[in-house]
Structures are given as structure tokens and as C-alpha cells.
Amino acid sequence: MRPTVSWTPPEDLPPGTTDLEPVADALSAGGVLVLSGAGLSTESGIPDYRGEGGSLSRHTPMTYQEFTADARARRRYWARSHLGWRTFGRARPNAGHRAVAAFGRHGLLSGVITQNVDGLHQAAGSEDTVELHGSLARVVCLSCGAVSPRRELARRLEEANAGFEPVAAGINPDGDADLTDEQVGDFHVVPCALCGGILKPDVVFFGETVPPHRVEHCRRMVREAASLLVLGSSLTVMSGLRFVRQAAQAGKPVLIVNRDPTRGDRHAVARVALPLGTALTAVAGRLGVPVDGRATA
């Protein structure tokens, strides 16, 4: 099962706008549920999947089926992910993340659902955040189910692969670094410290399903929200698009901030085609919401 790597927007999609008033109006009314995607983290140095220069133009993510069935695929994944974690783990929240956290502190949000696995919403101070696709900061054993911190695995991999210092061509939204098979070499993968089983990052791979209880929790969040604000997602895959459709079918306003067209545009009141950090900081200023403790009005 290969990931959905592209979506071609039809010519009759409604055009994007630069008018932030609908977003500001929704936030001022309160009860806004945020649904964020990889585009929100690009200003933190983490590329997105499908935007301009997105990683899927050069990189096909590992699928769950490959990871579980092929030891060589797991070696390639962990070599790339181990190297990428050194950069990915140092990423810091950007203006977009900080603005979302500020909206939450001021009682304008009902919650946050993120498709990202980078933990930057929480690092910025957002509470009530549901990580739809999990988190790279955790590792799970496929045999015994034990969950452990990524930093612990990073330490074990460092010890097992002394001198592993290839130069990567880039990093991807899922934390992988771009390495050739020659650079991966005979990288040594370590097993679960408790049972010797296969370790996997606690994220939903392409080809894997989001846990049903998590999906239902997110559906409940949509039901309880007054409106849905999509930030930095193309909504190419159903994982996020289903919540947009749910909100629209329930008559709840859907606002999208994304520079490129999305699969959810037909369901939206408007799509604001502006950089996220700039747009959200400007909205905070209009509402007099201080970001990082500084008044923006």
C-alpha cells in the first residue's frame, strides 16, 4: 500500500483570499477547534509533504507493511530516523504555534487536533492537543506494547553505532533524513530492552490506521466545537479531511489557512492563502491577544 503522494486541484475550486476577517471573526466568537498539518511546522525548519518543495517530491515515506515485514527496511528506516532525530528533536515552535497557544490561553479555542508528530504545539504551550498521528518523541514495542521515550532509544542507538555520522541531503516531516543505501550501510538496530521485540516510533505510518478510539475522540471534539480552523494541511488524505466534512455537514463554519488549494476548500467559508506565521500573528494583533507575553495590538 503506497501513500497518497499527490492531489491535483480541479480548476473550479473557489479562489484563495488574503482577507483575515473571517478567521478573526470565528476566533472572537470562541469555541474554535484547530486542525493543523505539516505546513504549520515549515517555519520551524521541518518541511511539509506536498507544498512547494515538499518532501514527497523526492521521498516516499516508509509504510507500515514494509516496516513490519522487512528487516532491511527497518534498518534503513532507523538509520535515517536516528540521524534525522538529531535535527528534528531540536526544532522549536514558530510564530504560528505560539499564536495558536495564545488563542488557547485566552479561551478562544475548544482544542487542537494535529496531524504533526513533532510536539511543537505542546512545546509552545497548547493544551488539549490530540496527536492524531502520534509522536516521534515516543517508541513502542510491537511485541509487548511497552512505550518508552525516544531519547532513551537515541542513546542506545548511539552506543550501538559509534561513528555513524553520514551527511544527509535533507530531513523530512516524519523525521527521516535522506540517506543512500551506502550511507545506511550495516547500521545496527536495537530491540526492545524488555522483551527483545521490534521497536517502532509511536506514530501512524502510511498504510496504518489511526486508532479508532482516537478518531472517535476527535469526532467528539468536532461535534462540540463552534467552528473548525485548518492550519497548514492540504487535506489530501482522509485522516484529516473527514473532520472537515463532518464539520461542514453539521453546519459548522470551516476556515482554512493554507497557501495552496486543499481538498477541503469546497467545504470552507474561505481559504486564506498567506504564510501561517504572518497570518496568525496578524489575527492575534486584531484581537488584542498577546503572543509570548507581548501585546500585539
55 has binding-site annotation = yes
pLDDT at residue 288 above 70? yes
**pLDDT tens digits, one per residue of 106-146:** 999 999 999 999 999 999 999 989 999 999 999 999 999 99
Question: Helices marked H in the chain — which ranges?
Answer: 21-29, 64-69, 71-88, 95-105, 120-124, 150-160, 181-184, 212-224, 238-249, 276-287
Q: What is residue 170's predicted lDDT score, i.e. its pLDDT?
A: 67
Q: What is residue 3's predicted lDDT score, i.e. its pLDDT?
A: 47
38 has binding-site annotation = yes
Indicate the burial class of 83 (C-beta count within 10 angstroms; 0-12, 13-18, 19 or more): buried
Residue listed under C-alpha cell 540521524: 83
Mapped onto helix, strand or coil, the DSSP state of residue 162 is: coil
Mean pLDDT calculated for residue range 43-70:
72
Percent of the chain with pLDDT over 70: 89
Query: Rounded CA gap, 189 and 201, in Å?
Result: 13
Catalytic residue chosen out of the listed positions 82, 97, 121, 133: 133
Q: What is residue 276's predicted lDDT score, i.e. its pLDDT?
A: 96
Domain 15-46+93-133+210-297 identical in fold to domain 55-90+135-203: no
Instruction: Indicate the DSSP class of residue 206.
Output: B
232 has binding-site annotation = yes
| Angle of CA points 62, 180, 120, to nearest 5° | 50
44 has binding-site annotation = yes
126 has binding-site annotation = no
Residue 106 is a catalytic residue: no
**pLDDT tens digits, one per residue of 136-172:** 999 999 999 999 999 999 999 999 999 888 877 667 7
Domains in the chain: boundaries: 15-46+93-133+210-297, 55-90+135-203
Among residues 45, 40, 47, 175, which one has the least CA distance to residue 112? 40
Q: At 88, list the grid cell.
A: 528534528
The CATH topology of domain 15-46+93-133+210-297 is: Rossmann fold (3.40.50)
**pLDDT tens digits, one per residue of 189-243:** 999 999 999 999 999 998 899 999 999 999 999 999 999 999 999 999 889 999 9
**pLDDT tens digits, one per residue of 3-39:** 455 657 777 888 899 999 999 999 999 999 999 999 9
CATH of 55-90+135-203, one of 3.40.50, 3.30.1380, 3.30.1600, 1.20.1740: 3.30.1600
